[in-house]
Amino acid sequence: MVVVPLKHHRMQFPREVIVGHGVIERIGEISRRLGFTESALIIAGSKTFDVAGRRVKELLEKKEGMTVQTFLVECAGTRDVEAVENRIKALKPQIVFAVGGGTKIDVAKCSSANQHIPFISVPTTASHDGIASPLSSIKGSEKPYSVVAQAPLAIVADTKIIMQAPWRFAVSGCEDVIAKFTAVKDWKLAHEDRDEYYGGYAASLALMSAKHVMQNVGLMKTRNEEGLRILLEALISCGVSMSIAGSSRPCSGSEHLFGHALDAIRPNHGMHGERCGVGTIMMTYLHGGNWKRIRNALQKLGAPTNARKLGVEKEDVIKALKMATSMRPERYTILNKLNLRGQSYEHLAKATEVI
Ligand SMILES: [Zn+2]
């Protein structure tokens, strides 16, 4: 009898997730409970250190008697990751605290994973699902998209702190969640057409998060802390769905490929969620879905729905649509299935009023 070895599927989850007003004050207790009582390294930006990092340091040092070092980063490039890794090697902390928005968390996640120590995510914005996912996106690396690093051991999301960030960040976070509508459709398509692994549970979780945000668009509009809590829970669920899937599949499809392409063409124009949001309008159209419903929701949120509002040219949008599949050739989506050519890209952008 031939014994076929079972395929391994590894899932890594956060052990503690705390979301709410003022929860940063509990950072010492969380650290202690997880067994980190001696040393820590805080990775933050200069602004996010002021917003939350300093308080984390104080709490760990004064109340827990821990030795806490700080390392400030401003970008999320390969050099930043290398610098943090060198810091980890020199200081040998038990745990890394990632205090910041997307970039700081990405750097801390990637460098701590490379150095085989855990990290705790302390987001200061709710602008995308990277605050809770096991994936990190590093500029200047070979891949223009997120790659698997490690899941945070804990997430401490203090809504009182996150409320201080411009509301545009939260809107971007909502869009990153709404993008799961097309991401999940693309994943299912890859399963049907290419026999790619598809995890129904992970897909449902991502989809449920997107529905939840859609249902609460009205509340989000009022810019209150309760809306932010709902968004954070949705972003964290998306992160967990990627942990279950073992990849970004449930959360990143053709709309993200468009977003990545647009970011490559026009760096620093619009936020991650904003680019993906506009992508979701167009990809919903391609999937034969109700793209107007997506656009209405984005409009209600005050999010950009066209090239002008994104601050890019019409040509950039068309170029990004053409480039999207090449951003990640192995990721099969509706764009591969329809294999658009020539004028079809322009037609798509015009039909959805993106240009
Ligand atoms: Zn995203």
The model's pLDDT over 159-196, given as tens digits with 9 standing for 90+, comes to 999 999 999 999 999 999 999 999 999 999 999 999 99
Ligand 1 centroid, distance to 59 Cα (angstroms)? 32
Report pLDDT for 103.
Answer: 87
Ligand 1 centroid, distance to 36 Cα (angstroms)? 31
Give CA–CA dist 253/309, Å, rounded: 23
pTM of this prediction?
0.94
The model's pLDDT over 241-255, given as tens digits with 9 standing for 90+, comes to 999 999 999 999 999
Give CA–CA dist 212/172, Å, rounded: 15
Strand partners, 44: 72, 99
Ligand 1 centroid, distance to 172 Cα (angstroms)? 9
The model's pLDDT over 120-166, given as tens digits with 9 standing for 90+, comes to 999 999 999 999 999 998 887 777 777 889 999 999 999 999 999 99
Ligand 1 centroid, distance to 248 Cα (angstroms)? 9
Ligand 1 centroid, distance to 188 Cα (angstroms)? 18
Ligand 1 centroid, distance to 251 Cα (angstroms)? 7
Contacts of 108 (CB under 8 A, 6+ apart): 43, 84, 96, 97, 98, 119
Report pLDDT for 138.
Answer: 82
Report pLDDT for 10.
Answer: 82
User: What does the radius of gyration of the chain's CA atoms come to, in whole angstroms?
Assistant: 20
Report pLDDT for 320.
Answer: 97
Ligand 1 centroid, distance to 200 Cα (angstroms)? 20
Residue percentage of the chain with pLDDT more than 90 = 87
Ion ligand 1 residue ranges (Cβ < 5 Å):
128, 176
Report pLDDT for 140.
Answer: 75
The model's pLDDT over 39-80, given as tens digits with 9 standing for 90+, comes to 999 999 999 999 999 999 999 999 999 999 999 998 878 899
Ligand 1 centroid, distance to 325 Cα (angstroms)? 16
- With CA atoms as reference, report the closest residue to 249 among 284, 201, 202: 202
Residue percentage of the chain with pLDDT more than 70 = 98
Ligand 1 centroid, distance to 19 Cα (angstroms)? 20
Give CA–CA dist 138/165, Å, rounded: 23
